[in-house]
Amino acid sequence: MATLPFADRDRWLALGLLLAALGVAYALLVHPWWSVPMLEVNGRIDTLRERELRIRSQLAQAPQVNQRLAQARTQLAQRPGFLAEASAELATASLIQRLETAVSEASPGNRSCAITNRSPLESTTRETFTRVVVQVRLRCGNPELASVLHSLENGSPRLFVGNLNVLAQRMYFVPGTGEDNNTNDAGLDVSFDLYGYLRPVAGVTRAP
């Protein structure tokens, strides 16, 4: 009867060794060959599910995206970014006409704003599209200058103003009056480059 505790101990020891052997076998055989691949597969499945949800969300937004794209195209069509003229000479004449119209609207009769110089300027900038430039010089008051620049840059087709230089003058000649004006609200001697871009011709590529 005294040998029973030893038998129980041996039995539990054998059971422990068996469990340890099973654990080692699982770690060496089952886990790397079964559990790890299954975990990787589950991770890939989760990734694919997230991707599917993103794709579905994007597809659900497709009508809104198409609507915004159509609106953007309509706005671009209403406000073209290129000059309508086919040649630089015609485009230059159009720029000068736009300038004269803007000045006339800002100062009817050229009483407080007048063009003192406007001359074509050959662009030396290397760009994808052909730039047409007119060098401009004005004598304007502050409000008239702001109106002219706003009209030029916000019209259609779109024009750009570069190399803007503004000098204040204590005394300046007011066109149309035949008199010099010497007031605190002195005029401005303004020079800038007014330019736009010719529409590209299909099949023609500018040299770099």
Q: In the chain, count of helices (H) and strands (E)?
A: 5, 6
Taking the alpha carbons at both ends of the chain, their separation in whole angstroms is: 105
> In terms of domains, do 165 and 95 share one?
yes
Q: Which long-range CB contacts under 8 A does 17-21 form with residues at least 24 apart?
A: none
In a domain, 19, yes or no: yes
> In terms of domains, do 92 and 190 share one?
yes
In a domain, 72, yes or no: yes
Q: For the segment 159-170, what is each residue's pLDDT rounded down to a tens digit?
A: 999 999 999 876
Q: Which range marks the domain in which residue 39 is found?
A: 8-78
Measure CA 75 to chain center: 16
Q: What values do phi and psi take at 80, rounded to 5?
A: -65, 145
CATH number, domain at 119? 3.30.70.60
Q: Which residues are paired to 133 by β-bridges? A: 121, 195
In a domain, 164, yes or no: yes
Q: Is the pLDDT score of 78 beyond 90?
A: no
Helix (H, G, I), strand (E, B) or coil at 26: helix
> In terms of domains, do 72 and 116 share one?
no
In a domain, 31, yes or no: yes
Residue 191: both structure tokens together: 């020079």
Q: How many CB atoms lie within 10 A of CB 199?
A: 16
Task: Please give the residue that has the higher pLDDT: either 124 or 196.
Answer: 196
> In terms of domains, do 193 and 92 share one?
yes
Number of structural domains (the chain) is 2
In a domain, 202, yes or no: no
Task: Please give the residue that has the higher pLDDT: either 41 or 91.
Answer: 91
Q: For the segment 135-189, what is each residue's pLDDT rounded down to a tens digit?
A: 999 999 999 999 999 999 888 788 999 999 999 876 545 555 444 444 444 589 9
> In terms of domains, do 112 and 48 share one?
no
- Between 36-60 and 62-78, two packed helices, what is the crossing angle to 10 degrees? 40
In a domain, 2, yes or no: no
Task: Over range 50-54, report the average pLDDT.
Answer: 85
Strand-strand pairing, 188-197 and 131-140 = antiparallel
The position carrying tokens 């009209």 is: 151
Domain boundary pick from 23, 48, 78: 78
Domain boundary pick from 78, 99, 131: 78
pTM greater than 0.95 (yes/no):
no
Domain boundary pick from 51, 78, 105: 78
